[in-house]
Amino acid sequence: MGRVKASGLARAWQLAIRKSKSALLALLFLYAFMFLRLVAIAKTASTACTYPHGGGGEGENRQGKENASLEWWAENRRTGKMIKAIVLVLATVSYASSASVSDANTFVDTVFREKMPFLVKGSPRLFPYATISDFRFKVFKTALTNRDLKVNMTRGEIRGFDSALQRVGDCQSPFLRDGQTIISCNLAVRGLNITFTALAKGDTLVAIWKTIWVHVTVRDTVAHFEASAPVGRDGTLRTFLINDILFDVQYDSDLSLNEARRQKFKEEVANRVKDELRHILFNDYNDVLRRAVESVTFPRI
């Protein structure tokens, strides 16, 4: 019976730890459970003293009472030691978890909503816009009614780096790894707009150059961000990663393309913009982001 009760206690304790949102709630559960356990032990001891085993005389009754009393005190000491051990574990867990998801969210929001706009606006390579070098490409003809399309892309400008990244959902609660406190969070890449002025010839049989606009926006793109700090020290940028960047490409209605050539045109523009944007994000923008992280107080755990 004692083993069954101990097993039940272990299962109940594990359930409380999993479902409680704080060490304090688990601690309150522990105290309540142990109090009821001590009451049950006391009742058992009282019953043993009143109704000792066997039908012997007064000496046997006295011996039964002494045995029950000793058993009660031994169980009481074991329970007390269990309480002390678990309280120590809870205190450690509470200390290690003192930095919460809210602390991580606040840290990331401060970096990207307060520090980055200020620092980006102080970088002439990023603000008011970053530039994309001129480039050209060709889209081959697909019918007798059109020519090879020649396109010269000029005046490429990327705007929006000051507010390009924002937190998506909650960050992970700060955790320890190899002596470092780590904050990990996903970010949405939003608000980056790329504009071009382009010269195009060959969308029709009439071989004349047209001046057109081309607009590109970033969509459905997520970045992964991690910052770390040795315990008690300032933080640094640990990881800034974007697996893929997706775009919407729009162009002037003066350019007349069939579906196949339209898709090829957008593909050529998107591929070049992706290369240029990744280079900027992982160099100039990354340098500014590193400074922003180092300027914000890191959560302590």
Are 155 and 49 found together in one domain?
Answer: no
Are 166 and 219 found together in one domain?
Answer: yes
Low-confidence stretches of the chain (pLDDT < 50) are: 1-25, 51-55, 87, 89-97
Judge whether 299 lies within some domain.
no
For residue 148, the model assigns a pLDDT of 93
For residue 164, the model assigns a pLDDT of 94
Last residue of a domain, one of 66, 96, 126: 96
Are 37 and 105 found together in one domain?
Answer: no
For residue 219, the model assigns a pLDDT of 94
Are 89 and 136 found together in one domain?
Answer: no
CATH of the domain at 234: 3.15.10.50
Last residue of a domain, one of 65, 96, 127: 96
Strands 236-242 and 193-201: unpaired
Judge whether 177 lies within some domain.
yes
Judge whether 70 lies within some domain.
yes
SS3 300: coil
Q: What is the DSSP letter of 25?
A: H
Which residue, among 246, 255, 195, 244, has the nearest Cα to 218 in the 3D structure?
Answer: 246
Are 166 and 213 found together in one domain?
Answer: yes
Structure tokens that stand for 11 in this block: 């299962």
Judge whether 32 lies within some domain.
yes
Are 121 and 240 found together in one domain?
Answer: yes
Judge whether 300 lies within some domain.
no
Domains in the chain, number: 2
Last residue of a domain, one of 96, 123, 146: 96
Other CB atoms within 10 A of residue 150 CB: 16
CA distance 167 to 271: 26
Judge whether 301 lies within some domain.
no
Judge whether 209 lies within some domain.
yes
| Confidence (pTM) | 0.68
Domain that holds residue 6: 2-96
Strands 149-159 and 130-132: antiparallel
Are 211 and 250 found together in one domain?
Answer: yes
Are 247 and 168 found together in one domain?
Answer: yes
Contacts 24+ apart (CB under 8 A), 85-88: 86/13, 86/30, 87/27, 87/30
Yes or no: say if 210 and 201 are a contact pair by the CB < 8 Å rule: yes
Whether omega before 128 lies within 30 degrees of 0, making that bond cis, reads: yes
For residue 10, the model assigns a pLDDT of 46
Are 110 and 33 found together in one domain?
Answer: no
Are 106 and 195 found together in one domain?
Answer: yes
Half-sphere exposure of residue 141: CA atoms within 13 angstroms, side-chain side? 12
Residue tagged 């300027």 (tokens): 295
pLDDT in tens, 207-255: 899 999 999 999 999 999 999 999 878 899 999 999 899 999 999 999 9
CA distance 122 to 128: 9
Are 242 and 110 found together in one domain?
Answer: yes
Judge whether 263 lies within some domain.
yes
Burial class (CB in 10 A: 0-12, 13-18, 19+), 39: exposed
Are 63 and 193 found together in one domain?
Answer: no
